[in-house]
Amino acid sequence: METNHKTRVSNIEDPNGLSRQSFLEKAALVGASLFTVPNLIAESSNQSRGSKIGNSKDQSISKNKMKTRTLGTLKVSELGAGCMSISANYGPPADKMQGIRLIRSAFEKGVTFFDTAEVYGPYTNELLVGEALSPIRNEVVIATKFGFDLEVGGLNSKPEHIKKAVEGSLKRLQTDRIDLYYQHRVDPNVPIEDVVGAIQDLIREGKVLHYGLSEASAKTIRRANAVHQVTAVQTEYSLMTRDPENNGVLDICEELDIGFVPWGPVGMGYLTGKIKPNVVLDQKTDLRSGFDRFSPENRKANLPILDFLKRFGKKKGATSAQIALAWLLAQKSWIVPIPGTRKMDHLEENLASIDIQLTPTDLIEIEAEFSKIKVYGGRMNEMQMKIVE
């Protein structure tokens, strides 16, 4: 594991987090009704909103002071919401109304950046996000993705397929434009210049406002950006998965003024400390059940990571998940993590990470400790890694 990258400092406010157990207990006591019928719109440091959803009068929902960050020229909340796990891939789908309440609650607490994809479900997550955000469409940024052929299988980024895919996404998302449209995986059979050309057509038509790349190499990012400015690159990045630091992706983003969006910012859930070695992952509905890193043996071997995060979090008055998110926020001002959850108390916990301040000394300590820890298991299975550039 690489350990000598630059030390960075966040500009987030003073810490007021708790241990995960205490945090969730207190959230349950003071905020149970708040998550059931949320309504109060949290005010961003750079933007206020007047819309309201629901009729709760609980004012505690606005405790977090969500700031904004910029991906290229696109302004978003400093934490986004990865919506995938509500509908697919990390277990059976959640109840639709539960998902709608969670997405709207995230907005009311200041989140303006919501991430989905046509392949999540497939299609069902876009439908959920579209319904949840339709009353506040003009106040949020919606990101979705294309690039899979959901009829015959495999990758497909041919221009004609992209133009067909965008129409389906627009309909499901109940919108006339997609704020950020990612190529979900790079298609080796279609030159990236042709892909960007198709996106440029959609931008001219007003159907897409910005575009991005997911799990692309630094070389492909540079080629794409030479045709049209790339707004954001999305790939897995967390304390457990440091590839973007070593493969040139973060460097090229900084050089070309491209935003970076880490998916899996809490290690696909592992860094929360909740996925113990004895937890059984559903082989039919949870992709992680087939990932080497999530085998019972490797979950046990990686426990030193959780032990350190628990000890360090105790010093900062924060949970392990909050430390993982605060660490990402401290890396660069143009990094916007998109943690995902289907549970209201975990949403509250994740968003409280913006209140955790990591000092230069904290960041040095984290790097020093992680340099002693080996991470066991690859981040995805062999089939999925074959389509990662």
User: What is the rounded CA–CA span in Å between residue 71 and residue 231?
Assistant: 6
State yes or no: is 182 an active-site residue: no
Contacts of 350 (CB under 8 A, 6+ apart): 79, 266, 321, 322, 325, 339, 341
Whether the CB-CB separation of 127 and 117 falls below 8 Å is answered with no
User: What is the rounded CA–CA span in Å between residue 22 and residue 133?
Assistant: 31
The neighbouring-strand residues paired with 200 are none
Q: Which of 120, 182, 270, 376 is catalytic?
A: 120
Kindly state the DSSP code that residue 288 receives in the 8-state scheme: G
Q: Alpha helix locations (H) across the chain?
A: 20-36, 84-87, 96-108, 124-133, 159-172, 192-204, 218-227, 243-246, 249-256, 296-301, 303-316, 320-329, 344-351, 360-370, 382-385
Active site residues: 120
